[in-house]
Amino acid sequence: MMKTMRIAAIPGDGIGKEVLPEGIRVLQAAAERWGFALSFEQMEWASCEYYSHHGKMMPDDWHEQLSRFDAIYFGAVGWPDTVPDHISLWGSLLKFRREFDQYVNLRPVRLFPGVPCPLAGKQPGDIDFYVVRENTEGEYSSLGGRVNEGTEHEVVIQESVFYPPWCRSHFALCLRTCASRPRKTLTSATKSNGLAISMPYWDERVEAMAENYPEIRWDKQHIDILCARFVMQPERFDVVVASNLFGDILSDLGPACTGTIGIAPSANLNPERTFPSLFEPVHGSAPDIYGKILLTLSPRFGPGQ
């Protein structure tokens, strides 16, 4: 008997409301074509409209509701004219990532036919790699604070956190992904010449894990020159592993080198499947084009491929 995958569909804000129904239509057609079954249930929260009525982005039992599903299909969040971005993001998408242990963010970077590339001489097939971003900790921890706020003695601290079990799991998934690809080449984003505690630890963990995959060639590159090489030599990359901050930067820079971040997909993964993973486009809610039929559906279909 065919198993039915249960998907929670969350349109969110702006163009998320427009593209999600069309994305579901395409996914249902794909399910029929390739012989699997999908069941969708739409949630009318995790949006700024919900916040305007309830004073919060989601109901108190959101975790219980979503835990019943195999995956989450997310649109976009944000409407800064009514809700500050830090409230809408931390009240929805970042909650999903952290409380569902979606500690791996898989971001394909691919130049598609018909998309003008801003880099001279690049053709489809020249740019085809993954950025694998740590998704829940690192530089984006919530540890820190402001002391003596508003005085001349104010001090601001925000700390990076690297939890060894999640580092190992993150690197293991990166290496498995790399081993499954023809080129089998891994690049680690670092800055161990400047961040003298956290990044040497990161480098050590990558090296230790890579020893278990002798078929993989790997190197480490400092984030500044790595960004430059994304622009100058994008064809050299296969799989790039990065911490939360560096991955955030690279996973937008990479698609920009392919012509637009508007068609870039994103998968927020819980590899152990103890909680649902979340699939989304990279683009935001785009209030400036909402309702004007100026969007593309491409990123709807990339994350789950």
Q: Are residues 85 and 137 in the same domain?
A: no
Q: What's the rounded mean pLDDT across residues 60-66?
A: 97
Q: Are residues 58 and 158 in the same domain?
A: no
Q: Are residues 145 and 237 in the same domain?
A: yes
The number of distinct structural domains making up the chain is 2
Q: Are residues 192 and 226 in the same domain?
A: yes
The string of pLDDT tens digits covering residues 89-111 is 999 999 999 999 999 999 999 99
Q: What is the CATH number of the domain that holds 177?
A: 3.40.718.10
What confidence score (pLDDT) does residue 117 get?
94
The string of pLDDT tens digits covering residues 14-34 is 989 988 888 899 899 999 999
What confidence score (pLDDT) does residue 166 get?
84
Q: What is the mean pLDDT of the chain?
A: 92
The string of pLDDT tens digits covering residues 249-260 is 999 999 999 998
For residues 143 and 158, is the Cβ–Cβ distance under 8 A? yes
Q: Are residues 253 and 172 in the same domain?
A: yes
The string of pLDDT tens digits covering residues 221-239 is 999 999 999 999 999 999 9
Q: Are residues 162 and 234 in the same domain?
A: yes
Q: Are residues 303 and 172 in the same domain?
A: no
Final residue in a domain of this structure, among 263, 281, 296: 263
Q: Are residues 19 and 46 in the same domain?
A: yes
Domain with 33 in it: 1-102+270-305
What confidence score (pLDDT) does residue 296 get?
54
Is residue 46 classed exposed, middle or buried when 0-12, 13-18 and 19+ CB atoms within 10 A define those classes? Answer: buried
Q: Are residues 27 and 62 in the same domain?
A: yes
**Rounded CA gap, 87 and 282, in Å?**
19
Strand order across the 37-42 sheet: 37-42, 4-12, 71-76, 277-281, 265-269, 104-110, 128-134, 239-242, 185-190, 217-222
Q: Are residues 168 and 254 in the same domain?
A: yes
Q: Are residues 34 and 164 in the same domain?
A: no
The string of pLDDT tens digits covering residues 133-181 is 999 999 988 899 999 999 999 999 999 999 998 899 999 999 999 999 9
CA atoms within 13 A on the CB side of 302: 25
Q: Are residues 168 and 284 in the same domain?
A: no
